[in-house]
């Protein structure tokens, strides 16, 4: 299983996409590349996310778990509905309409900038 998340810890990889597998960690700049993820589940550690929401502090609590991913140069040619994750605003993954979508499965997701979209 591969974990993909937006990295917000200070340092050279600040605001990069982190792609973590069992044996490696890679960082990719959202300005120059995008990630196509397949066989995805939206993961949220709700108890940690609730603390982030209440105290407005950063902590790792959400990511996309995927079976495979591909990092490509440039921007995606097409993208669908945006999925949002910001535990300072809502302590769960949401659609652009605000519905809680924690632990949902998606065939394919794609990043564009710092956002995640349902690919079609």
> Which is it for strands 94-95 and 105-112: parallel, antiparallel or unpaired?
unpaired
Query: Rounded to whole angstroms, how far apart are CA atoms 54 and 91?
Result: 9
What pLDDT tens digit does each residue of the chain (120 aa) get? 999 999 998 999 999 999 999 999 999 999 999 999 999 999 999 999 999 999 887 788 999 999 999 999 999 987 889 999 999 999 999 998 889 999 999 999 999 999 999 976
- Tell me the domain boundaries of the chain: 2-118
Q: Which pLDDT score, from 0 to 100, does residue 120 have?
A: 65
Separation of alpha carbons 120 and 100, rounded Å: 21
Residue at token pair 């299983």: 1
Sign of dihedral through CA atoms 106, 82, 19, 101? negative
Residue keyed to tokens 């605003």: 89
Considering the entire predicted model, what is its pTM?
0.92
Q: Which of 107, 4, 1 is nearest to 62 (CA)?
A: 4
Cα 76 from chain centroid?
16
Structure tokens at 42: 């939206």
């Amino acid at each position: 299983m591969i974990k993909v998340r937006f990295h917000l810890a200070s340092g050279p990889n600040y605001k990069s996409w982190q792609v973590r597998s069992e044996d490696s960690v890679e960082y990719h700049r959202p300005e120059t590349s995008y990630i196509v993820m397949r066989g995805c589940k939206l993961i949220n550690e709700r108890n940690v996310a609730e603390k982030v929401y209440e105290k407005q502090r950063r902590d790792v609590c959400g990511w996309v778990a995927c079976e495979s991913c591909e990092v490509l140069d440039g921007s995606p040619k097409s993208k669908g509905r945006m999925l949002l994750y910001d535990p300072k605003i809502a302590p769960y993954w949401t659609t652009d309409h605000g519905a809680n979508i924690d632990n949902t499965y998606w065939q394919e997701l794609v990043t564009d900038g710092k956002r995640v979209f349902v690919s079609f």
